[in-house]
Structure 1
Amino acid sequence: MRVEISQLLDLLPHRYPFLLVDRIEEIVDTDEIKEVTGYKNVTYNEPFFQGHFPDEPIMPGVLILEAMGQVGAILLKVQPEFSGKERKLVYLTSVDHAKFRKPVRPGDCLRTTARLKRRHGNVGKFEFVAKVDGETVAEAEMGFMIAPDLTLTAKAQ
C-alpha cells in the first residue's frame, strides 16, 4: 500500500513546517508483522537549516526522531479503530536507545522503517531504522499512546 501526500494530510495532524513525511512506500499489516516504510525528502529550503547550521546544514536529531515517529503513526492511523468519527491522535511517550550514525543533509532522502514491536490497547512501542542511500543514519525505539485530543483549555480566573 502506497500513501501519497494528499492522503498523509488526512492521516496526520501535522502541517508545514512540521510535516516530516512526504510519502509512505509500503505498509505490511499482517498478524505476524506490522511495518511501514516512509520517506522524507530533505531540501535546503527546510526552515531549520537557517540556524542548524548555516555553514554546515545538518538535520537536527530531534527532527529525525520526529520524522520517524510520524512514519510510525501512519501505521497506527490505517488500523480499523481509526476509521470512526472520533478524532484520535498518536502521542510520543518515550524514546529509548536512540543512536545517530551519520548526519542527514540537504539532498538526502531519509527512508524510515517502523516496525511495531508491541501494542497493548492504546499504548505500545515501535522500533525504527532510518537510512540514506542504504546506510543507517539513525535508529531508536519509541513508545506511543493513542488518545483523543489532549487540548488543554484555559481555566477561567
Structure 2
Amino acid sequence: MNIEKLNFDIHKILTLLPHRYPFLMVDRVTEIVPHKSIKALKNVTVNEPFFQGHFPQRPVMPGVMILEALAQTAALLTFSEEEQDFENTLYYFVGIDGARFKRVVEPGDQLILNVTFERYMRGIWKFKAVAEVEGAVACEAELMCTVKKMDAA
C-alpha cells in the first residue's frame, strides 16, 4: 500500500474547500492513499467561537462540529479522486449513520481525523470516519456525501 506523506497544509486546503473561518475544521492533511483513505488533523483551541455557549463553565466541542470536521476530511479525499473544477464544485453532506460519541473533546486537544472510502454509487460517496484524541476514539460514523456543480450566477 502506497501512503503518500504530504505537506497538505492550510493553503492547499483553502484551495479545495469552500469553508472559511469560523467553519473550516481541518488544519492539515498528514497522509493520503488515493482512492482509499486520508488522515488529517484539527487543533482545538479555546478561541473557537462555539465554546462561548457550549459550555461557558466547561468548554466542550459540539458533536456536530466533530462530524463536520470528518465530513470536510472526506471531501478532501473525494477531491483527490478526480480532476475537478474546485471553484465551481460544492460538496454536500447527505447522510450520517451510526454516529457515536465516546470521548469529550476540549480546548487543547488535537483531533486526528481518519476517513476511509467505502463505496461510490449513484452519485453518493460513502465513508467510514473516526476522530481520535490521544489514541482514544472521540467520534465514529458512516458519512454519505455528494458532489455537485454550482450553477452559474
Q: TM-score, normalised by structure 1?
A: 0.89
Within 5 Å, which residues of 2 pair with 1:89-100? 89-100=90-101
Within 5 Å, which residues of 2 pair with 1:138-149? 138-149=139-150
- TM-aligned CA distance change 1:120 to 1:76, over 3 Å: same
Within 5 Å, which residues of 2 pair with 1:23-42? 23-29=28-34, 34-42=36-44
Gapped regions of structure 1 (runs ≥ 5): none
Partner of 2:81: 79
Amino acid at match of 1:38: A
**Pair 1:108-2:148 in alignment:** no
Q: TM-score, normalised by structure 2?
A: 0.91
CA distance in 1 between partners of 2:113 and 2:53 (Å): 24
What is the aligned length?
148
**Conserved 8 A contact 2:117-2:126:** yes
Gapped regions of structure 2 (runs ≥ 5): none
Partner of 2:131: 130
Partner of 1:7: 12
**Conserved 8 A contact 1:40-1:110:** yes
**Conserved 8 A contact 2:34-2:80:** no
Q: Which runs of 4+ in 1 moved over 6 A?
A: none
Q: CA deviation at 1:121?
A: 5.2
Partner of 2:46: 44
Quick one: percent identity of the two aligned structures? 45
Q: CA deviation at 1:80?
A: 2.4
CA distance in 2 between partners of 1:85 and 1:75 (Å): 13
Q: Deviations over 1:105-126 (max 9, x none)?
A: 0000000100011012521211
CA distance in 1 between partners of 2:102 and 2:82 (Å): 36
Q: Deviations over 1:59-98 (max 9, x none)?
A: 000000000000010011122232x477222110001000
Q: Deviations over 1:12-63 (max 9, x none)?
A: 0000000000000000115xxx100010000000000000000110000000
- TM-aligned CA distance change 1:86 to 1:136, over 3 Å: closer
